[in-house]
Amino acid sequence: MPVAGGRLAWPDFARGVSIVLVVLLHLFLLHYIYFFYGSEGSEAVTAVVDFSAPLRMPLFFLVSGYLATRAVQRPWAADARPRVWTPAYLFGLWLVLNLLVDLGRERWGTGGVVEPLPFLAGNLVWPQTVLWYLYALVLFYVVTRLTHRIPASVVVGVGVLLSVIGTTWFEGLGESLLRCFVFYVLAARAPELVDWIVAHSRIGPLLAAALSYTALTLLYVLTSIDFGIYLLAGVAGVVLGIQLAVRVGGHRMAAPLRYLGRHTLAIFLVHPFVFIVANDVFVQHPELAEGIRDRPWLVAAYPWVLLAATLALCVGTEALAKRIGLGFLFALPKTWARPVRGRG
Protein backbone atom coordinates (compact mmCIF):
# COMPACT_ATOMS: atom_id res chain seq x y z
CA MET A 1 0.00 0.00 0.00
CA PRO A 2 1.60 3.32 -1.06
CA VAL A 3 2.44 5.49 1.94
CA ALA A 4 3.71 9.09 1.87
CA GLY A 5 4.98 10.85 4.99
CA GLY A 6 3.63 8.11 7.25
CA ARG A 7 0.10 8.43 5.81
CA LEU A 8 -1.83 6.31 3.36
CA ALA A 9 -1.33 8.06 0.05
CA TRP A 10 -4.55 7.21 -1.72
CA PRO A 11 -7.05 9.00 0.60
CA ASP A 12 -5.06 12.26 0.44
CA PHE A 13 -4.76 11.98 -3.33
CA ALA A 14 -8.48 11.24 -3.73
CA ARG A 15 -9.43 14.23 -1.57
CA GLY A 16 -6.99 16.35 -3.55
CA VAL A 17 -8.73 15.41 -6.79
CA SER A 18 -12.11 16.13 -5.21
CA ILE A 19 -11.15 19.56 -3.91
CA VAL A 20 -9.70 20.60 -7.27
CA LEU A 21 -12.95 19.61 -8.98
CA VAL A 22 -15.04 21.39 -6.33
CA VAL A 23 -13.08 24.63 -6.67
CA LEU A 24 -13.39 24.37 -10.45
CA LEU A 25 -17.16 23.96 -10.10
CA HIS A 26 -17.43 27.04 -7.90
CA LEU A 27 -15.11 29.00 -10.17
CA PHE A 28 -17.52 28.16 -12.98
CA LEU A 29 -20.76 28.86 -11.09
CA LEU A 30 -19.69 31.88 -9.05
CA HIS A 31 -17.52 33.64 -11.61
CA TYR A 32 -16.83 32.22 -15.06
CA ILE A 33 -20.45 31.71 -16.05
CA TYR A 34 -21.25 35.43 -15.66
CA PHE A 35 -18.55 36.65 -18.00
CA PHE A 36 -17.48 33.88 -20.38
CA TYR A 37 -20.11 31.14 -20.58
CA GLY A 38 -20.97 30.42 -24.19
CA SER A 39 -17.99 32.34 -25.50
CA GLU A 40 -15.74 30.65 -28.01
CA GLY A 41 -13.15 28.69 -26.05
CA SER A 42 -15.38 27.99 -23.02
CA GLU A 43 -16.42 24.52 -24.16
CA ALA A 44 -13.61 22.60 -22.42
CA VAL A 45 -14.16 23.89 -18.89
CA THR A 46 -17.93 23.50 -19.28
CA ALA A 47 -17.47 19.87 -20.31
CA VAL A 48 -15.14 19.10 -17.40
CA VAL A 49 -17.54 20.67 -14.89
CA ASP A 50 -20.48 18.70 -16.27
CA PHE A 51 -18.61 15.42 -16.64
CA SER A 52 -17.17 15.48 -13.11
CA ALA A 53 -20.54 16.05 -11.41
CA PRO A 54 -21.08 12.48 -10.09
CA LEU A 55 -17.46 12.20 -8.95
CA ARG A 56 -16.35 15.26 -6.99
CA MET A 57 -18.52 15.23 -3.85
CA PRO A 58 -19.29 11.47 -3.73
CA LEU A 59 -15.55 10.75 -3.74
CA PHE A 60 -14.88 13.38 -1.08
CA PHE A 61 -17.58 12.09 1.26
CA LEU A 62 -16.67 8.45 0.66
CA VAL A 63 -13.10 9.14 1.79
CA SER A 64 -14.40 11.15 4.76
CA GLY A 65 -16.66 8.28 5.78
CA TYR A 66 -13.86 5.77 5.36
CA LEU A 67 -11.60 7.78 7.65
CA ALA A 68 -14.41 7.98 10.23
CA THR A 69 -14.91 4.20 10.40
CA ARG A 70 -13.36 3.74 13.83
CA ALA A 71 -14.73 7.03 15.16
CA VAL A 72 -18.37 5.98 14.72
CA GLN A 73 -17.72 2.92 16.92
CA ARG A 74 -15.93 4.70 19.78
CA PRO A 75 -17.54 6.67 22.64
CA TRP A 76 -18.79 10.11 21.61
CA ALA A 77 -16.25 12.02 23.67
CA ALA A 78 -13.31 10.27 22.03
CA ASP A 79 -13.87 11.95 18.65
CA ALA A 80 -16.19 14.87 19.36
CA ARG A 81 -13.47 17.47 18.86
CA PRO A 82 -12.33 16.60 15.30
CA ARG A 83 -15.67 15.27 14.04
CA VAL A 84 -18.18 17.69 15.60
CA TRP A 85 -16.72 20.68 17.41
CA THR A 86 -14.07 21.63 14.85
CA PRO A 87 -16.34 21.67 11.77
CA ALA A 88 -19.16 23.30 13.78
CA TYR A 89 -16.78 26.00 15.04
CA LEU A 90 -15.40 26.68 11.56
CA PHE A 91 -18.91 26.75 10.11
CA GLY A 92 -20.01 29.43 12.60
CA LEU A 93 -16.82 31.47 12.35
CA TRP A 94 -16.71 31.56 8.56
CA LEU A 95 -20.44 32.19 8.32
CA VAL A 96 -19.82 35.40 10.28
CA LEU A 97 -16.84 36.24 8.05
CA ASN A 98 -19.02 35.72 4.98
CA LEU A 99 -21.59 38.07 6.46
CA LEU A 100 -18.95 40.74 7.16
CA VAL A 101 -17.66 40.53 3.60
CA ASP A 102 -21.21 40.83 2.23
CA LEU A 103 -21.89 43.86 4.46
CA GLY A 104 -18.63 45.44 3.32
CA ARG A 105 -19.51 44.91 -0.34
CA GLU A 106 -22.96 46.37 0.27
CA ARG A 107 -21.42 49.49 1.80
CA TRP A 108 -18.92 49.86 -1.05
CA GLY A 109 -21.62 49.43 -3.65
CA THR A 110 -20.34 46.14 -5.09
CA GLY A 111 -22.91 43.81 -3.52
CA GLY A 112 -26.60 43.56 -2.76
CA VAL A 113 -28.52 44.34 0.42
CA VAL A 114 -27.87 41.90 3.28
CA GLU A 115 -30.02 41.44 6.38
CA PRO A 116 -27.62 40.13 9.07
CA LEU A 117 -30.06 38.30 11.35
CA PRO A 118 -32.01 36.50 8.60
CA PHE A 119 -28.71 35.64 6.90
CA LEU A 120 -27.24 34.07 10.04
CA ALA A 121 -30.44 32.37 11.20
CA GLY A 122 -31.25 31.01 7.76
CA ASN A 123 -27.79 29.61 7.16
CA LEU A 124 -27.55 28.05 10.61
CA VAL A 125 -30.72 26.08 9.89
CA TRP A 126 -30.29 25.47 6.14
CA PRO A 127 -26.93 26.62 4.69
CA GLN A 128 -26.99 28.50 1.42
CA THR A 129 -23.25 28.96 0.99
CA VAL A 130 -20.39 26.59 0.13
CA LEU A 131 -20.04 26.08 3.89
CA TRP A 132 -22.78 23.46 3.56
CA TYR A 133 -20.15 20.74 3.36
CA LEU A 134 -19.09 21.45 7.01
CA TYR A 135 -22.73 21.19 7.99
CA ALA A 136 -22.87 17.88 6.09
CA LEU A 137 -19.74 16.48 7.76
CA VAL A 138 -21.23 17.01 11.21
CA LEU A 139 -24.69 15.78 10.20
CA PHE A 140 -23.38 12.65 8.47
CA TYR A 141 -21.11 11.74 11.37
CA VAL A 142 -23.84 12.23 13.95
CA VAL A 143 -26.42 10.21 11.97
CA THR A 144 -23.91 7.44 11.26
CA ARG A 145 -22.86 7.39 14.91
CA LEU A 146 -26.46 7.25 16.15
CA THR A 147 -27.31 4.37 13.80
CA HIS A 148 -24.15 2.34 14.32
CA ARG A 149 -26.05 -0.47 16.08
CA ILE A 150 -28.48 -0.85 13.18
CA PRO A 151 -27.28 -3.37 10.56
CA ALA A 152 -25.13 -1.68 7.95
CA SER A 153 -27.22 -3.14 5.13
CA VAL A 154 -30.31 -1.38 6.48
CA VAL A 155 -28.63 2.00 6.92
CA VAL A 156 -26.93 1.86 3.52
CA GLY A 157 -30.20 0.74 1.93
CA VAL A 158 -31.96 3.77 3.38
CA GLY A 159 -29.09 5.90 2.09
CA VAL A 160 -29.60 4.50 -1.41
CA LEU A 161 -33.32 5.25 -1.26
CA LEU A 162 -32.67 8.78 -0.02
CA SER A 163 -30.13 9.34 -2.80
CA VAL A 164 -32.64 8.38 -5.48
CA ILE A 165 -35.34 10.49 -3.84
CA GLY A 166 -32.97 13.44 -3.49
CA THR A 167 -31.94 13.33 -7.13
CA THR A 168 -35.53 13.08 -8.28
CA TRP A 169 -37.56 15.34 -5.98
CA PHE A 170 -35.24 17.82 -4.26
CA GLU A 171 -33.09 20.76 -5.27
CA GLY A 172 -30.29 22.72 -3.63
CA LEU A 173 -28.97 21.65 -0.25
CA GLY A 174 -31.52 18.90 0.28
CA GLU A 175 -30.52 17.24 -2.97
CA SER A 176 -26.81 17.52 -2.19
CA LEU A 177 -27.20 16.08 1.32
CA LEU A 178 -29.31 13.14 0.19
CA ARG A 179 -27.05 12.41 -2.76
CA CYS A 180 -23.86 12.38 -0.69
CA PHE A 181 -24.95 10.69 2.54
CA VAL A 182 -24.99 7.20 1.03
CA PHE A 183 -21.31 7.42 0.09
CA TYR A 184 -20.29 8.58 3.56
CA VAL A 185 -22.30 5.96 5.42
CA LEU A 186 -21.31 3.18 3.03
CA ALA A 187 -17.61 3.79 3.63
CA ALA A 188 -18.05 4.35 7.37
CA ARG A 189 -20.17 1.25 7.98
CA ALA A 190 -18.71 -1.07 5.32
CA PRO A 191 -15.05 -0.06 4.98
CA GLU A 192 -14.24 -3.60 3.87
CA LEU A 193 -15.80 -2.75 0.50
CA VAL A 194 -13.40 0.15 0.08
CA ASP A 195 -10.54 -2.06 1.23
CA TRP A 196 -11.51 -4.65 -1.38
CA ILE A 197 -11.44 -2.04 -4.15
CA VAL A 198 -8.08 -0.84 -2.90
CA ALA A 199 -6.69 -4.37 -2.80
CA HIS A 200 -7.94 -5.14 -6.32
CA SER A 201 -6.58 -2.11 -8.09
CA ARG A 202 -5.76 -3.45 -11.54
CA ILE A 203 -5.87 -2.14 -15.09
CA GLY A 204 -8.92 -4.25 -15.91
CA PRO A 205 -11.16 -2.99 -13.08
CA LEU A 206 -9.89 0.54 -13.65
CA LEU A 207 -10.86 0.48 -17.34
CA ALA A 208 -14.23 -1.09 -16.51
CA ALA A 209 -14.91 1.64 -13.94
CA ALA A 210 -13.82 4.34 -16.41
CA LEU A 211 -16.10 3.01 -19.16
CA SER A 212 -19.04 2.63 -16.76
CA TYR A 213 -18.54 6.12 -15.37
CA THR A 214 -18.30 7.62 -18.87
CA ALA A 215 -21.44 5.89 -20.11
CA LEU A 216 -23.54 6.65 -17.03
CA THR A 217 -22.37 10.25 -16.76
CA LEU A 218 -23.07 10.93 -20.42
CA LEU A 219 -26.53 9.48 -19.92
CA TYR A 220 -27.00 11.70 -16.86
CA VAL A 221 -25.68 14.87 -18.54
CA LEU A 222 -27.15 14.49 -22.02
CA THR A 223 -30.64 13.21 -21.22
CA SER A 224 -33.42 14.00 -18.80
CA ILE A 225 -33.12 10.53 -17.24
CA ASP A 226 -32.30 11.08 -13.58
CA PHE A 227 -33.91 8.34 -11.51
CA GLY A 228 -30.95 6.61 -9.88
CA ILE A 229 -28.53 7.42 -12.72
CA TYR A 230 -26.55 9.92 -10.65
CA LEU A 231 -26.14 7.32 -7.90
CA LEU A 232 -24.91 4.65 -10.33
CA ALA A 233 -22.55 7.11 -11.97
CA GLY A 234 -21.32 8.12 -8.51
CA VAL A 235 -20.62 4.49 -7.60
CA ALA A 236 -18.64 4.01 -10.80
CA GLY A 237 -16.91 7.34 -10.16
CA VAL A 238 -15.74 6.51 -6.64
CA VAL A 239 -14.49 3.10 -7.78
CA LEU A 240 -12.59 4.82 -10.58
CA GLY A 241 -11.30 7.48 -8.18
CA ILE A 242 -10.06 4.91 -5.67
CA GLN A 243 -8.44 2.80 -8.38
CA LEU A 244 -6.59 5.80 -9.77
CA ALA A 245 -5.63 7.04 -6.31
CA VAL A 246 -4.15 3.67 -5.36
CA ARG A 247 -2.19 3.34 -8.60
CA VAL A 248 -0.76 6.88 -8.84
CA GLY A 249 -1.42 8.55 -5.48
CA GLY A 250 1.87 7.47 -3.95
CA HIS A 251 4.02 8.72 -6.82
CA ARG A 252 6.19 11.76 -6.15
CA MET A 253 4.51 13.56 -9.06
CA ALA A 254 1.23 13.25 -7.15
CA ALA A 255 2.63 15.10 -4.13
CA PRO A 256 0.85 18.41 -4.97
CA LEU A 257 -2.55 16.70 -5.04
CA ARG A 258 -1.80 14.84 -1.80
CA TYR A 259 -0.85 18.18 -0.24
CA LEU A 260 -4.14 19.72 -1.37
CA GLY A 261 -5.94 16.68 0.03
CA ARG A 262 -4.45 17.40 3.46
CA HIS A 263 -5.64 21.02 3.33
CA THR A 264 -9.20 20.69 2.05
CA LEU A 265 -10.65 22.66 4.98
CA ALA A 266 -8.65 25.78 4.22
CA ILE A 267 -9.37 25.53 0.50
CA PHE A 268 -13.11 25.13 1.07
CA LEU A 269 -13.17 28.11 3.43
CA VAL A 270 -11.11 30.59 1.41
CA HIS A 271 -11.73 29.94 -2.27
CA PRO A 272 -15.14 31.66 -2.69
CA PHE A 273 -13.62 35.00 -1.70
CA VAL A 274 -11.23 34.82 -4.65
CA PHE A 275 -14.17 34.63 -7.03
CA ILE A 276 -16.00 37.46 -5.26
CA VAL A 277 -12.97 39.69 -5.77
CA ALA A 278 -12.63 38.60 -9.40
CA ASN A 279 -16.30 39.41 -10.03
CA ASP A 280 -15.96 42.86 -8.51
CA VAL A 281 -12.84 43.59 -10.57
CA PHE A 282 -14.56 42.63 -13.82
CA VAL A 283 -17.69 44.61 -12.93
CA GLN A 284 -15.61 47.67 -12.14
CA HIS A 285 -13.40 47.16 -15.21
CA PRO A 286 -15.54 45.51 -17.91
CA GLU A 287 -12.83 46.06 -20.50
CA LEU A 288 -10.79 43.31 -18.83
CA ALA A 289 -13.46 40.68 -19.38
CA GLU A 290 -14.08 42.00 -22.88
CA GLY A 291 -10.39 41.67 -23.69
CA ILE A 292 -10.48 38.01 -22.63
CA ARG A 293 -13.67 37.28 -24.60
CA ASP A 294 -12.05 38.68 -27.74
CA ARG A 295 -9.36 35.99 -27.53
CA PRO A 296 -10.74 32.42 -27.51
CA TRP A 297 -7.40 31.02 -26.35
CA LEU A 298 -7.61 33.27 -23.29
CA VAL A 299 -11.20 32.23 -22.64
CA ALA A 300 -10.00 28.61 -22.69
CA ALA A 301 -6.87 29.17 -20.59
CA TYR A 302 -8.25 31.66 -18.05
CA PRO A 303 -10.20 29.25 -15.78
CA TRP A 304 -7.25 26.89 -15.40
CA VAL A 305 -4.86 29.72 -14.56
CA LEU A 306 -7.36 31.13 -12.05
CA LEU A 307 -7.91 27.64 -10.60
CA ALA A 308 -4.19 27.13 -9.98
CA ALA A 309 -3.82 30.62 -8.53
CA THR A 310 -6.84 30.11 -6.26
CA LEU A 311 -5.57 26.83 -4.86
CA ALA A 312 -2.13 28.34 -4.20
CA LEU A 313 -3.69 31.39 -2.55
CA CYS A 314 -5.87 29.23 -0.29
CA VAL A 315 -3.08 27.07 1.09
CA GLY A 316 -0.80 30.12 1.26
CA THR A 317 -3.40 31.99 3.28
CA GLU A 318 -3.68 29.12 5.74
CA ALA A 319 0.11 28.89 6.12
CA LEU A 320 0.43 32.64 6.65
CA ALA A 321 -2.44 32.72 9.15
CA LYS A 322 -0.80 30.02 11.25
CA ARG A 323 2.53 31.81 11.06
CA ILE A 324 1.19 35.15 12.34
CA GLY A 325 -1.01 33.78 15.11
CA LEU A 326 -4.31 33.52 13.22
CA GLY A 327 -4.44 29.75 13.18
CA PHE A 328 -7.83 29.91 14.93
CA LEU A 329 -9.28 30.78 11.51
CA PHE A 330 -8.63 27.23 10.33
CA ALA A 331 -8.68 25.09 13.47
CA LEU A 332 -10.51 24.94 16.77
CA PRO A 333 -8.30 26.55 19.42
CA LYS A 334 -6.59 23.93 21.56
CA THR A 335 -8.08 25.33 24.75
CA TRP A 336 -11.62 24.76 23.45
CA ALA A 337 -13.59 21.53 23.66
CA ARG A 338 -10.74 19.42 24.96
CA PRO A 339 -11.38 15.79 24.05
CA VAL A 340 -12.13 13.32 26.80
CA ARG A 341 -10.44 9.98 26.36
CA GLY A 342 -12.92 7.20 25.89
CA ARG A 343 -12.45 3.48 26.08
CA GLY A 344 -12.28 1.38 22.99
**Contact yes or no for 197/239 (Cβ under 8 A):** yes
CB-based contacts of 116, cutoff 8 Å, min separation 6: 99, 103
C-alpha distances (whole Å) from 33 to each of 29, 42, 45, 300 are 6, 9, 10, 13
**Contact yes or no for 12/292 (Cβ under 8 A):** no
What pLDDT digit, counting tens, does each position of 59-115 carry? 999 999 999 999 988 888 888 899 999 999 999 999 999 999 999 988 887 778 889
What pLDDT digit, counting tens, does each position of 159-179 carry? 999 998 877 777 888 889 999
**Angle at 127 (CA atoms; ends 121, 270), nearest 5 degrees:** 110
Name the helix (H) or strand (E) containing 54: helix 53-67
pTM: 0.93
E strands present in the chain: 3-4, 7-8
How high is the pLDDT of residue 113?
82
**Contact yes or no for 279/29 (Cβ under 8 A):** no
Per-residue confidence at 18, pLDDT binned at 50, 70, 90?
very high
For 71, counting Cβ atoms within 10 Å of its Cβ (0-12 exposed, 13-18 middle, 19+ buried), the class is middle
What pLDDT digit, counting tens, does each position of 297-344 carry? 999 999 999 999 999 999 999 999 999 999 999 999 987 655 444 433
Of 5, 3, 52, 1, nearest to 24 (Cα)?
52
| Contacts by 334-342, CB closer than 8 A, 24 or more apart | 336/85, 336/89, 337/80, 337/81, 337/85, 337/89, 338/81, 339/77, 339/78, 339/79, 339/80, 339/81, 340/77, 340/78, 340/80, 341/77, 341/78, 342/74, 342/75, 342/76, 342/77, 342/78
Q: Give the mean model confidence (pLDDT) for residues 118-130.
A: 91
